[in-house]
Chain A
Amino acid sequence: MVAVTPETGQDRALADAFEAAVAADERVEPRDWMPEEYRASLVRQMAQHAHSEIIGMQPEANWITRAPSLRRKAILMAKVQDEAGHGLYLYSAAETLGTSRDELLDKLHAGRQKYSSIFNYPTLTWADVGAIGWLVDGAAITNQVPLCRTSYGPYARAMVRICKEESFHQRQGYELLLALSQGTEAQHAMAQDAVDRWWWPSLMMFGPPDDESAHSAQSMAWRIKRHSNDELRQRFVDIAVPQAETLGLTLPDPDIKWNEERGHYDFGAIDWAEFWDVLKGNGPCNEQRLSQRRRAHEEGAWVREAAAAHAEKQAQAHVQHEEARV
């Protein structure tokens, strides 16, 4: 029998209390004790989520200057602005775990932390903006609504705010596609082409199948995740199929069929080779997305330095002023 030292005995008690609290659906807060793996797992997931918001600005921002009406331009600008805001919430939430935005951004820029694989696909036409709203935001919401009840408090609270805005964006994307689908022949074709290109990448947003998902089991045990990748993917397909019918657009999968027995839609096989390839950095826009992000950061360095230098001078002036009064 291995002797239990007082220290490990104490850790065990803390770990037991943590497990019990999580199992009882209590929220974990920044000052609470938590296992190091839980902390690391959350930092990884929240950073990836934050990075996805800011990299995700690029494919849509690509169309801001070309939006075909002023109303659509305003909607798109507001959406991209919201995404920057989501990035801000999520970096702040991640900072409660003892990391910093600068550190996380450095890791993103160095390619050491990931962002959602979906943003490595290009926005080739205006309809892609609608397909992103409907499918990509739709998939994101399916993933994120359960995160409003995730075990880590700051993350859960950030998600409540984010989900409200995301569902608004999704409705706008759907409405954009509907306008195109019911518009001229050329507009309808543009909408169909966009859906054809974004459907499969959207299904890949839920991550690898359950039996190949490295972090799933632990994340679910800790209630960081509440549902498995495949469960959420199925939920998304079940919602999207009837929406596509209402839109008057088809989905590029001949195997989609209602399965009475399961009470779900069956669907075709995902090209996992493509998924892993994009994840490894070989997607159509990986290089472009990361280099734009790095460039914005590098070209903005002098601005951040100026702001810091000014703040420092202000602080010194304040100290001198205080000293003069004494």
Chain B
Amino acid sequence: MVLAQRLGEWAGHAPVLEEEVALANIALDLLGQARVLLSLAGDEDELAFLREEREFRNLQLVEQANGDFAHTIARQLYFSVYQQLLYGELAAGDGPFAPLAAKAVKETAYHRDHAEQWTLRLGDGTDESRRRVQAGLAALWKFTGEMFRPVEGLDLDAEAMAALEARWLAAVTAVVEKAGLTLPEGPRTGAWTAGAGRQGLHTEPFGRMLAEMQHLHRSHPGASW
């Protein structure tokens, strides 16, 4: 949901009309997935509009500001590869999320393809586009470790998570190298980023994003829309 909100900010600002369509399309898919997940946990609007910042459990990666198009694409690359691998595994299993994952895995395959194609185009485009996409990949690198960290209160198979992480790293490395880019160096987790979003500890831009998102809903307590 948080990433859908971020992508929604692109509407009317994209570099070409085709990307207006594509970014809105991805945002809509993500919002659809979020609505199913939130409904499983309770009332979707109560959960989206009435929780405080410290109660949100999203990854810090997805709350990061859009930046330029390359920054947005880097965020999409990291997240969509992760999501597609994760949904693939959930869809193959028989857990409670299998039906949701079966639908989402098709959507995320498209998101992943979109992000990979743009990483290639930008990496193998002009000097400026290569510089920008490299900068985007570097800036967001430190948020990628959180995707594979244990989540408090959830009984995750540590071995499966490590395997997922290895597959993610291999996939991202392959795209980055094919695009003539280099994998960022440095830690993928830090004291603050390691699983922090999962504990309700977010980065500064997130509060402002929520303020905008929740303002109207909170101004009319109990109203239906």
Assuming the contacts A77-B27, A302-B132, asked whether A54 and B17 have C-beta atoms less than 8 A apart, the reply is yes
Q: Judging by beta carbons under 8 Å apart, are B17 and A179 in contact?
A: no
Binds B, one of A40-48, A181-189, A228-236, A265-273: A181-189
Residue from A65, A297, A299, A301 in contact with B213 in the complex, judged by beta carbons closer than 8 Å: A65
Q: Which residue of A lies closest to B122 (CB)?
A: A306
> When chains A and B are docked, how far (Å) is the Cα of A176 from the Cα of B224?
11
> When chains A and B are docked, how far (Å) is the Cα of A261 from the Cα of B70?
64
> When chains A and B are docked, how far (Å) is the Cα of A69 from the Cα of B222?
12
B12 proximal to A (CB < 8 A): yes
Q: Which residue of B lies closest to A292 (CB)?
A: B12
> When chains A and B are docked, how far (Å) is the Cα of A85 from the Cα of B44?
29
Q: Which residue of B lies closest to A80 (CB)?
A: B11
Q: Judging by beta carbons under 8 Å apart, are B69 and A300 in contact?
A: yes
Assuming the contacts A66-B212, A70-B34, A70-B48, asked whether A179 and B224 have C-beta atoms less than 8 A apart, the reply is yes
Assuming the contacts A70-B48, A292-B13, A307-B121, asked whether A84 and B129 have C-beta atoms less than 8 A apart, the reply is no
Tell me the interface secondary structure of chain A in the complex: helix
A251 proximal to B (CB < 8 A): no
> When chains A and B are docked, how far (Å) is the Cα of A83 from the Cα of B224?
27
B residues near A, CB below 8 A? 1, 4-5, 8-9, 11-21, 24-25, 27-28, 31-32, 34-35, 38, 44-45, 48-49, 68-70, 120-122, 124-126, 128-129, 132, 212-213, 215-217, 220, 222-225
- 0/1 interface trace, chain A 125-156, chain B, CB 8 Å (1 if under): 01000000000000000000000000000000
Binds B, one of A56-64, A160-168, A192-200, A275-283: A56-64
Contacts of B223 in A (CB 8 A): 68, 183-184, 186-187
Q: Judging by beta carbons under 8 Å apart, are B32 and A74 in contact?
A: yes
Q: Judging by beta carbons under 8 Å apart, are B14 and A78 in contact?
A: no
Interface residues of A in 25-82 (CB under 8 A from B): 54, 57-58, 61, 64-74, 77-78, 80-81
A173 proximal to B (CB < 8 A): no
Q: Judging by beta carbons under 8 Å apart, are A305 and B126 in contact?
A: yes
Q: Judging by beta carbons under 8 Å apart, are B24 and A300 in contact?
A: no
A318 proximal to B (CB < 8 A): no
A227 proximal to B (CB < 8 A): no
Q: Judging by beta carbons under 8 Å apart, are A304 and B213 in contact?
A: no
> When chains A and B are docked, how far (Å) is the Cα of A72 from the Cα of B216?
12
Interface size range of chain A in the complex:
35 or more
Q: Judging by beta carbons under 8 Å apart, are A84 and B217 in contact?
A: no
Contacts of B16 in A (CB 8 A): 300, 303-304, 307
Q: Judging by beta carbons under 8 Å apart, are A310 and B120 in contact?
A: yes
Contacts of B18 in A (CB 8 A): 88
A324 proximal to B (CB < 8 A): no
Contacts of B34 in A (CB 8 A): 70
Measured CB to CB, the closest approach of chain B to A20, in angstroms, equals 38
Residue from B124, B216, B224 in contact with A310 in the complex, judged by beta carbons closer than 8 Å: B124
Residue from B11, B49, B132 in contact with A77 in the complex, judged by beta carbons closer than 8 Å: B11
Q: Judging by beta carbons under 8 Å apart, are B5 and A65 in contact?
A: yes
Q: Which residue of A lies closest to B25 (CB)?
A: A81
